[in-house]
Amino acid sequence: MILIKPTSEWTQAILDYKTEFLSQSGVNWIDGSSGLSDFINISDWLDHLILYESNETIPNPDFVTGEQYLFIRETDRKIVGMIHFRHELNEYLFHYGGHIGYSVAPSERKKGYASRMLKEMLVEKKGCSNKKLLITCNDDNIESAKVIEHNGGILENKLLDESDNQLVRRYWIDN
């Protein structure tokens, strides 16, 4: 398993990942994918990612900079997960979104990939300027809560996100 930044080399695998998610009934968003579901053209999404890596190029001042990663199973070059690291938090992210968002392909769930991917991201970002990282999940997402707790997450509290009426668990992990 490897954690890498997306490039055009992975266009078909990214499209396959997106298609697998969006083919599920009622799904129109992919967590931890930097808005992949909003893009028809993968090259436009890749350009979007580059813009959001720097304060000098970020097109929306209400958003924060971050980095997108793919979690690749090397044996078949399949994207089993995506994970996004935010360099900082705005008010909304501080309460409901956190520094890290992730997803695992529906066909690859319950295989330990989310826990491994989060662990790899924590190793990748060890020593960054954030001494503590906030990771959140919906209160009813027990699997994600287990992943966060398995990686050292300490539950601080639960807050109601009034934008979608979801109770959100807020975990901190020492970095």
For 106-147, the pLDDT digits (tens) are 999 999 999 999 999 999 888 777 789 999 999 999 999 999
DSSP structure class, residue 53: T
Write out residues in the chain with pLDDT < 70, as ranges.
none
Question: Residues 32-57, buried b or exposed e (16+ Cβ, 10 A)?
Answer: bbbebeebeebeebbebbeebeeeee
How many angstroms separate the CA atoms of 113 and 105, rounded? 10
Contacts of 145 (CB under 8 A, 6+ apart): 137, 139, 169, 171
Q: Which CATH class is domain 2-174?
A: alpha beta
Q: Any alpha helices (H) in 23-81, and if so which ranges?
A: 42-51
Domain residue limits, the chain: 2-174
